[in-house]
Chains A and B, each alone.
Chain A
Amino acid sequence: MRFQNIREKALPERSGYILYLVMSLLLVWAIMSFSLSTFKSGSVSLLTRTSMQSRLTCAASGGMNEIWAMARQEANDKSGKSNPLHFYSLLNAVFDQNENEIPPKKTFVSEKFFDSNDLPFANVMAGEISGNDIRVKGHCRLFFTKLIRKSPQSFSGHIEVIVQAVSKSDSREFIEIKERRDFKIIDTRDLLDRYALYVKDYGFDYNKIRQKLVIEGLGPKVRSSVYLGSRYAPNYPAFKNLAEPAPIYFDFNFKDDKVLLSALLNNNSAVIPQGGQEIPSSNPKVRTGSSGNIFWSIPIPLRFKPIFDRGSFTDSDFYTVKALQDGYYKTFVETSQKAGGEEHSLAGLILEDWKNCGGNYADSQVFKMVVTTSVDSWGYLYAYTDAQSLWNGDLWSDFAKTFQFTGLNEYIKFMKNYHPDKMISGSMPQIFGPERNKPVTLEGNVFFRFFKIAFFDEFDAVITLAGESKKLGMPAIPLHFQDPADNSSNFLNKEVRIHGIEKQLMSREVDEIPVNSLFSAGVSSYPEGVASPDNVFLTLSTDVISYKYKNSQDFFADNTMLLANGEKRLKVDGVTFIEKGNLDLSGYSSFSGQGLIWIGFRGDIYLGDLAKSKPSDILKLWAQDGSFIIKSDKPDVKISASLLALTYFSDPLRTKSSLGNRGKLIANKHGIEITGNLAVDYLFTADKNYGIPEGKKLVIKHDPFLFSPVYPKWTTLGPVRTIYSVNADSENRFFK
């Protein structure tokens, strides 16, 4: 269509141009005739013939060029879809054929005839150089000879063009040129196109607050995928003996991600029952202190007795609970000592009992009685909060320091060895978009992390001891998190159905809800349909490569367009293979076309701002043994491309797990926005020297044109003539 537009527009405007061309040709002709005037007639007639032949050849070449121009112009032009003789249709016809009609079973051929009317430029030129005595017509055949990818189908073949220039006055005056060029029609799509982000290795920076990762998926209707793998996960005790890939935790931040809260509570994996906004403690200070620091609370206190009964606890389970012991000592023993317990008085009895047990609570009758009373009277309270509300860096928040909420005060200490990443209080990446309204399918072992704080509420009880009733105020008891590395079991970590998703009494981290359960069924450790996510690369073969270059210099020499404003634009056309070496695209402001640039061996790709010339353009960049490095004067760069740094090498001396040997996106102190997608071995955002600066983001906008390309089948015409022949024998012409 574009070609036609140009043609329609250009014809009247170019007419003067042709006149000039013709005038100069005539001038040359005049000079020739003048110089020929001194030649003998024999030479002149010989030269006349030669000049006629030259004109015929010139006209035929013109026709040839016109057909190739048309082929190039139309090959990837959807406007020819409805015209069966348009090159787009001729090339794409192969995909509609029965498998018995196409390679490898049979060479598929489509053809097209070009009459004089179909070659207007060549015929106008031929007419002008010959006094309207030459006619140019042509014919082309497309041979699909090889199936280069079975599914989805891709083919290679050649186009053979024959052009004839014939004198109208004498049909024996004739030149026929035959030319052949190779073509490839390949499926440009790949598995990775449906991923907005594909990360193979375990990542440490997902929860970074000041270097945020933002993913904008395609939308609620069609979901983009994100895969976060756990290859080369660190050797934490927490990851020992795991059957699944090492889990990745996203710190749910109820203030930032409040949009997601309802989805979280109603997730498809473990629904959390209706809750309240503050903890219903009998102590009003606790109630108000919890408000705003928790995102869910048990709406009313739970009576502990039924839990106790369900959980086949025994009273002795509680004898060792330090808080209980301390409460007892303070309330009973100390008070009695002050009262100076007379014999048979209550205080005297308590002191005696204390004396008899010798400091061993389990032997104290009074303590046992108090425990029994407490079990009957305790109200069990718990609520959910997030890491940011509890601590920041090394400092616990005031909320976390409130006695009732101190159940987690040993969490960081425990995690230091067990799972150091968990010591950091962070905030999850915006994988559902900045507005959290673009759900994605999140693949990988990714879970939320938030925290449960639990305690027994304080209560007043009347104890009858030796016939004497005594009213006592029992303090609240925070239920402490237990060392996950310590396998010893007590009532705090003993499993018992409590309420909602809770099965233990203690305060704890909630880390069992998969992030993917918010909008999808639940955890999906591996990419859909992929058994080994680490072996995912682009599915390519040498057959699909259209252009091969030794290095990037050669590539640039062939594929650089200089725009009027002095900027450089990159031309892409099908699969380009560059053997090795760095590819510095930072000097290019845009690209046009559709294709993949594949650096086969060692080589990084440098990028600055890179835009498309039109939305449907697609550029995929694959560094097979290198990284993407941002190089720009600007603080933020915008890149419209699919960036793939998935390392594959075969050198046995190199360690694959070494960070230097893994494909990365190195932000180099820039904020980055990618329109396309990103697939890397190792993803990081925070690094003093090479990361994203504080306050800036890595934004990945999944490109819909990448997901559903306008031209899933892209045709590349070879620049090299594989056959060229000239025939002047009018008897044996290809067609009359």
Chain B
Amino acid sequence: MEVGGLIVDNSINEVSLHELQINICLEELNSEEPQTRQYAISQLQSFIDNEIVVNALKTRAQIENNPECKADLDETLKLAAHSEITFNFSENRIGEASELARLWQTVESAQLPELVKHVKKLAPEDQAKVVCEVLTQATGSAQIVPILSLSRNVMMRAEVIDHLEKLVTAESSLLVIRVVSLLTRLMPAKLVAHLPGLLLHKNFQVRLMAIKTLHLLSKPEAIRLLNELMFSSESSNRKSAFSFLFVLPFNDTGDIVLRLIERVDLPKNLDQVIRFLIYNNPDQKFFRRITLSYLLHGKKIAALKTYWSLAARSLTVSGLVKKSEQELINETLADTKAFILRHTRHDTGKQETVKKSVASDHKNQDLLQLSAVSDFSHEHIEKLLKICENISTTEEITSAIRLIGKNKLASNPFCTWLENLLEKDSPEVINPVVETLLELNKTRLLPHLPILVFHKNPSVAEKCLKIFNGGFPEKLVEKLKLWIRDNKAEIREVAHKGLMEIEFLQARELILTFVRNSTNLELIKYYSSILLLNPDRLTVYKLNDLSIKSSGEKKKLLTSLAGEIKEELGESAKDENSSTLNSVISELGIKEQWEEILGRIKQISYDSQPGDIRNLLTSKAFNLALVGFLILAVVIFLVKFQLGSANRLLNNQAPQKKAIYSYDLGNDQEAITDKKNARPWDYELPELATPPDSLYEMLTVEERRALHEELKKEAGPSAEEAPRDDQRIRLEVELQR
């Protein structure tokens, strides 16, 4: 652990945060996702002084084919192109604001940074005038961006702020990002009115920037939206994960960091960023949570350990904790273990240790001989197969299994033999069988896993659960969906363990879906410990959301659960940044407007819930629209198809129907003829005419026989097969004879 910590330190010290950011952005510049590339371009705008960055942008510009990325690249490169051309000022007008503003419109954008230097020489009022002029007349973002680098007291002027506010709704996303960022620093209250729009902006970088602004005004909402944005289903969002980490202070993004860590296979750059963040942001709450995560998932995710020790080190180094690193670790470990134990009381499995069987503790000479063989031939295989059929003691069996495993004998008879062994109770047999089958033929093991996880020996069950999750995570999730609903103690225990085993995000999804549909409070409580063990803000939001939609005891339970998790996260109920908020909004006296806007922001969610469609279907507005649409359709139908004529049709049909049966020739129905529809010859008696003589020309016996034979050939000999005797009807006359 010590060594790991040192390595971490070194790797962090090697690079600055800027370099890290540049590295990541350059990497993302070549991403396949246009959105990611666009983001990288916008980030790199801040680093256009760096030659590597400019070169990378130029290279990219040559191959870029996405029009939006291309436009952004062009604009950024315009800013990067410096030129040393002197300006043709009109005589004696060098110092005049109007002249500078005129020049701003005429010179190329590459010369603008140079021109800024001249502007900066003016008095603040004149600078403000130039800014206003430029902002009014500018035609592209490349003309605007350089002027934004003027000093704070120029930009803070009311007229400049007003002009800037107008730019919030500009077309170019790059410009909007810059303006929003500027306004957030200068006067966030001006953004209040635009926030709902910005939070739903099509460009996700703009959304991130808006969240950053929102953080100043309403911390919980900002954190919520950030979490949701991070874990919404759009994959591209997750790819540029690191951008999230810098939007808000570390203590608010701790969740995100942890969830990122828990996701295996972090890219190297991101790994560095996370280390940087952990090391530079000593935080006791975060340490406690990473400890929890380490205890739960440490076995699966090796990197967790390094992060965990890094967090401990940062605490001791920063002096926030007055203990030695080892003490801190020991203490927190003990605490957290107790916490976990508190919430997993119900599955206190008797952790029987499996006695390791001694390898060659048997007297079967044949097996011993085979064990000595290094290269298995066909005869050996057959011999082993024969031995397998006859052995019965555990020692012999395990020895045979080892042989099979060692020599990778995956043929059908061996697999079948192994599968049959799974029916035994002894863990000494089952464990090696499972391992061997896993190695030799995973698919043959699969059908047994859902049974083995319920094995009465806890070690076997646990092992199989792990294998199940490792080998067939999707199948396990499918099974868990079923098991989670079950009331039986042993099944829900396995379900609990399984949920702990799979990725937390997936487990949370399963649990929340279950909570949404279930009314079984006891079961909800049972599984809630998993949510508690993985405290997460998003869980709190979702639980709150669910509690609003439920009632009675369930509502109480969900609210208290959300409270518990919140507590675990170390958040108090009160709005922490109310002081900032007050100061910000009191500047413009927009408290009432803010209240309203906050309400709207609360409606915004990036989380695409599975129940969305159902919610939509049950929503009042949707139903009203549906009813309206149906009424409209019915009205159109009635108008178009003339209800009157439909009636007429029915009236017409009634007698017609009778007429169809009219010639039923029975006594009960009279022969009513529909004169209108009936063709007379169909109903009137025909004029009886003696048939023509030609009708008497019959087939001769020979012709008839020929016809019959022809048909018989086609029908086959079975056509004349007699029916079964019991199916034959025998008349009295026949029986008497």
A binding-site residues for B, Cβ under 8 Å? 1-2, 5, 12-13, 16-17, 19-20, 77-79, 150-152, 189-191, 193-194, 204, 218, 221-222, 528-530, 535-537, 539-542, 564, 577, 579-580, 590, 600-602, 611-616, 625, 627, 629, 638, 640, 648-651, 654, 659-660, 664, 666, 673, 675, 684, 687-690, 701, 704-705, 707-710
Sample of 29 A–B contacts (CB below 8 Å): A1-B679, A2-B677, A12-B645, A13-B645, A79-B679, A151-B697, A189-B695, A191-B696, A193-B695, A537-B704, A579-B719, A580-B715, A601-B719, A601-B720, A602-B722, A602-B723, A611-B661, A611-B666, A612-B663, A612-B665, A614-B662, A615-B682, A616-B681, A648-B708, A651-B720, A659-B733, A660-B730, A708-B686, A710-B682
Question: Is there a chain A Cβ closer than 8 Å to B731's Cβ?
Answer: yes
- Among B641, B660, B687, B734, the residue within 8 A (CB) of A614 is B660
Q: How far is the CB of B677 from chain A (nearest CB, A)?
A: 7
The distance from the CB of A196 to the nearest CB of chain B, in whole angstroms, is 13
B721 at the interface (CB under 8 A from A): yes
Residues of A within 8 A of B642 (CB): 13, 16
| CB < 8 Å neighbour of B666 from A152, A638, A689 | A638
Interface residues in B343-390 (C-beta closer than 8 Å to A): none
* Interchain CB contact under 8 A, B704 and A613: no
* A-contact 0/1 string along B690-706, CB 8 Å cutoff: 11111111110100110
Q: Which residues of B contact A529 (CB under 8 A)?
A: 693, 696
Least CB distance, B432 to chain A, in whole angstroms: 59
Task: Please tell me if the beta carbons of A535 and B660 are within 8 angstroms of each other in the complex.
Answer: no
| Chain A residue at minimum C-beta to C-beta distance from B708 | A650
CB distance from B663 to the nearest CB of A (A): 4
Cα–Cα distance between A193 and B689 once the two chains are bound (Å): 12
Closest CB in chain B relative to A603 CB, distance in Å: 9
Determine whether the beta carbon of A710 is less than 8 Å from that of B686. yes
Contact B665 A16 (CB under 8 A): no
Given contacts A189-B691, A535-B704, A542-B707, contact A78 B696 (CB under 8 A): no
Residues of B contacting A701 in the complex (Cβ-Cβ under 8 angstroms)? 665
Q: Which of A191, A615, A650 has a CB less than 8 Å from the CB of B709? A: A650
In the complex, the answer to whether B695 meets A580 with C-beta atoms within 8 Å is no
Question: CA of A13 to CA of B707 in the docked complex: distance in angstroms?
Answer: 52
User: Are B663 and A615 in touch, CB under 8 angstroms?
Assistant: yes
B640 CB within 8 Å of chain A = yes
Choose from A221, A577, A625, A690 the contact partner of B720 (Cβ within 8 Å). A625
CA–CA, A601 to B641, complex, Å?
A: 52
| Docked-complex contact A191 and B688, CB < 8 angstroms | no
Q: Hey, which chain A residues are within 8 Å of B489, CB to CB?
A: none
Q: In the complex, which residues of chain A have a beta carbon less than 8 angstroms from the beta carbon of B712?
A: 601, 650
Q: Is B683 positioned at the interface, with any CB of A under 8 Å from its CB? A: yes
Complexed CA–CA distance, A564 and B658 (Å): 12
Answer whether A600 and B715 are a contact pair too, CB < 8 Å, given A651-B720, A659-B734: yes
Nearest chain B residue, comparing its CB with the CB of A153: B694
Q: Is B728 an interface residue (CB 8 A)?
A: yes
Nearest residue, chain A, Cβ from B688: A222
Taking a contact as CB atoms under 8 Å apart, the answer to whether B707 and A16 are in contact is: no
Q: Once bound together, how far apart are the Cα atoms of A572 and B710, in whole Å?
A: 24
**A703 nearest CB neighbor, chain B only:** B665
Report A-chain residues with C-beta under 8 Å of the C-beta of B666.
Answer: 611, 638
- Chain A residues near B692: list those with CB within 8 A: 152
* Contact flag A687-B732 (CB < 8 Å), given A530-B698, A709-B686: yes
What CA separation (Å) do A154 and B642 show in the bound complex? Answer: 48
B685 located at the interface, meaning its Cβ lies under 8 Å from any Cβ of chain A in the complex: yes
Q: Given contact pairs A16-B642, A79-B679, A615-B683, enumerate 12 new A-B contacts (beta carbons under 8 Å).
A: A16-B640, A151-B694, A191-B695, A191-B696, A536-B698, A539-B695, A542-B707, A542-B710, A659-B731, A660-B734, A705-B686, A707-B686
Q: Is B678 an interface residue (CB 8 A)?
A: yes
In the complex, B664 has a CB within 8 A of chain A: yes
Instruction: Determine the chain B residues whose CB is within 8 A of the CB of A190 once the complex forms.
Output: 695
* Nearest 4 interchain pairs by C-beta: A601-B719, A16-B640, A151-B694, A222-B688
Closest to A540 in B: B707
Q: Is the CB of B720 within 8 A of A704?
A: no
Q: Which of A189, A580, A612, A673 contacts B719 (CB 8 A)?
A: A580
Minimum C-beta distance from B545 to chain A (A): 37
Return B385 CB to nearest CB of chain A, in Å.
53
The CA-CA distance from A519 to B174 in the complex, in Å, is 114
Cβ distance B203 to chain A, nearest Cβ, rounded Å:
22
Contact B731 A687 (CB under 8 A): yes
**How would residues 604 to 646 of chain B score, 1 for a CB under 8 Å from any chain A CB and 0 otherwise?**
0000000000000000000000000000000000001110010
Whether A602 contacts B719 in the complex (CB less than 8 A), given A189-B691, A659-B731, comes out as: yes
**Cross-chain contact B649 with A13 (CB below 8 angstroms):** yes
Q: Is B63 an interface residue (CB 8 A)?
A: no
Q: Give A205's nearest chain B residue, CB to CB.
A: B733
A664: chain B residues at CB < 8 Å are 731
Q: Who on chain B is nearest to A77 by CB?
A: B679
Chain A residues positioned under 8 Å from B705 (CB to CB):
650
Interface centre among B692, B693, B712, B731 (most CB of A within 10 A): B731
B729, CB-defined interface residue at 8 Å: yes
Task: Judge if B657 is at the interface, Cβ distance under 8 Å.
Answer: yes
- Decide: A690 near B731, CB < 8 A? Known: A600-B711, A611-B666, A648-B704: yes
Which of A17, A79, A704 makes the CB contact (< 8 A) with B686? Answer: A704
| Complex Cα–Cα for A528 and B690 (A) | 13
Partner of B681, one of A17, A602, A648, A710: A710
Report the separation of the CA atoms of residues A16 and B189 in the bound assembly, to the nearest whole angstrom: 59
How distant is B670 from chain A, measured CB to nearest CB, in Å?
13
Cβ–Cβ contact B663 & A541, under 8 A: no
Give bound CA distance, A664 to B682, whole Å: 31
Min distance, Cβ B153 to any Cβ of chain A, angstroms: 51
User: Which of chain A's residues has its CB closest to B690's CB?
Assistant: A222
Residue ID in chain A nearest B711 by CB atoms? A600
Point out which of A13, A529, A616, A688 has the most chain B C-beta atoms below 10 A from its C-beta.
A616
* A616, B683: Cβ atoms closer than 8 Å: yes
- Are B665 and A638 in contact (CB-based, < 8 A)? yes
- Looking at A19, A660, A666, the one whose CB has the most chain B CB atoms below 10 A away is A660
* Residues in chain A near residue B677, CB distance under 8 A: 2, 5
A16-B719 contact, Cβ under 8 Å, with A189-B691, A611-B661, A704-B686: no
Known contacts being A16-B641, A535-B701, is A689 close to B720, with CB within 8 Å? no
Do A613 and B660 touch across chains, with their CB atoms under 8 A apart?
yes
Q: Do the beta carbons of A614 and B732 come within 8 Å of each other?
A: no
Chain B, Cβ-Cβ closest to A626:
B723
Q: Quick one: given A542-B711, A684-B731, are A19 and B719 in contact (CB under 8 Å)? A: no
Contacts of A204 in B (CB 8 A): 733
| Bound complex: CA A323 to CA B136 (Å) | 155
Flag if A78 contacts B681 (CB, 8 Å).
Answer: yes
Quote the shortest CB–CB distance from A292 to chain B (angstroms): 35
State the Cβ distance, B679 to closest chain A Cβ, in Å: 6
